[in-house]
Amino acid sequence: MSAGTNDGLGYAGPGTDNTRAQARIERRDSFVSMALSFPALLLVVVLIFGPVGWLLGLSFVDDGHFSLANYQRMLAPAYVSIFTQTFQISIMVTVLAVVLAYPLAYLMSQCSRTVAALLMIGVMLPFWTSLLVRTYAWMVVLQRRGIINEVLQWLHITDAPLRLVNNMTGTTIGMLHVMLPFMILPLLSSLRQIDLTYMNAASNMGASPLRAFWTVYFPLSLPGVFAGAILVFVMCLGFYVTPQLLGGGKVIMMSIKIQQNAALYFNWGAASALGVVLLVITLGLFVILGRFARVESMFGGK
């Protein structure tokens, strides 16, 4: 009879005692780890969940009393228009970012290290400049007497200046410029993890380079595409500086309306309600996506 087995008389053997002792040690180590991490967990709760809870509470207050008026207000046509415009711009910027970022990320994943490093410098260069400065630069470039309109008229492509600023066009261009690096980086990380032997295997099976790309390479790159698209879309939902300046007051997104409610109308309840809705939408996107793919694997998780 081996150690640790029951002998039929109720004696479990020394193996069971060792198992119980090991379990007690694991429980003690777990308790010690929780005790040591409690200050950090408390700090996270206070700094993250505290403000969120405060905003959630304010969203149900109107004129000093509990009310759903701040949420009912969002059913008004003006708020529906703001939500629609926010999603239109966010989706447009996300789609354009995918279309523009994929060829560049693919080139960076296939070229030599030297060329890839130079291209990476170009991708990271916008981060070295203030967002406010970049936005004002786009205002200069896109205005009626800006570089783009001057060149188009000089080439006789247009007879009159195009309206490229103070509208959705200028807002989309400015946001796309800011968002492109956030699309390229996760996509590039995904492309570099693809084993190119799959492409060789497809070629050996008679597939043309184009067919091998669309049937083998592109599906393997989808986690990176989804990761970058989620990141860009979520950031676009809460974008403020670029739409405020390039929109010229004609493009009102959720973030701008939150600022107006808080700073202009001093209605913290309405601003908090919009913030809560924006948070719920963001979390909902991750929940919905999680039903179709492992979100953690898109960002490099196992």
pLDDT digits (tens, 9 = 90+) for 110-160: 988 899 999 999 888 888 888 889 999 999 899 888 889 998 889 888 888
pLDDT score of 1 more than 50: no
1 shares its domain with 150: no
129 and 26 within one domain: no
Length of the chain: 302
- Residue 77 counted as domain residue: yes
76 and 32 co-located in one domain: no
User: Which of 204, 188, 178, 147 has the alpha carbon at shortest distance from 300?
Assistant: 188
Same domain, 138 and 3: no
Q: Which residues neighbour 198 within 8 Å (Cβ) at sequence distance 6 or greater? A: 216, 217, 220
Query: Is 177 domain-assigned?
Result: yes
CB half-sphere exposure, 149, CA atoms < 13 A: 17
Q: Which of 177, 164, 166 is nearest to 246 (CA)?
A: 166
3-state secondary structure the chain: CCCCCCCCCCCCCHHHHHHHHHHHHHHHHHHHHHHHHHHHHHHHHHHHHHHHHHHHHHHCEECCEECCHHHHHHHCHHHHHHHHHHHHHHHHHHHHHHHHHHHHHHHHHHCCHHHHHHHHHHHHHHHHCCHHHHHHHHHHHHCCCCHHHHHHHHCCCCCCCCCCCCCHHHHHHHHHHHHHHHHHHHHHHHHHCCCCHHHHHHHHCCCCHHHHHHHHHHHHHHHHHHHHHHHHHHHHHCCCHHHHHHCCCCCCCHHHHHHHHHHHCCCHHHHHHHHHHHHHHHHHHHHHHHCCCCHHHHCCCC
CB 188, CB 111: distance < 8 Å: no
Query: What is d(CA 58, CA 280) in angstroms, rounded to the nearest whole number?
Result: 16
Inside any domain, residue 202: yes
Q: Which residue has the higher pLDDT, 286 or 219?
A: 219
Q: Residue 206: its pLDDT value, please?
A: 86
Tell me, yes or no, whether 30 and 132 share the same domain: no
- Residues 25, 94: one domain? no
**Residue 46 belongs to a domain:** no
Which pLDDT does position 21 carry in this prediction? Answer: 76
**Percent of residues, the chain, with pLDDT higher than 70:** 90
Considering the domain architecture, whether residues 129 and 278 belong to the same structural domain is answered as yes
Would residue 228 count as lying in a domain?
A: yes
Q: What is the average pLDDT value for the chain, to the nearest integer?
A: 85
Residue 102 has pLDDT above 90, yes or no: yes
CATH of the domain at 176: 1.10.3720.10
pLDDT at residue 156 in the model: 86
pLDDT beyond 70 at 2: no
Q: Which domain holds residue 208?
A: 72-298
Read off the pLDDT of residues 210-261 as tens digits, 9 standing for 90 and up. Answer: 898 999 999 999 888 988 998 899 899 988 999 999 988 888 999 999 999 8
Least confident of 58-62, 92-96, 224-228, 284-288: 284-288
Q: What is the mean pLDDT of residues 20-45?
A: 81
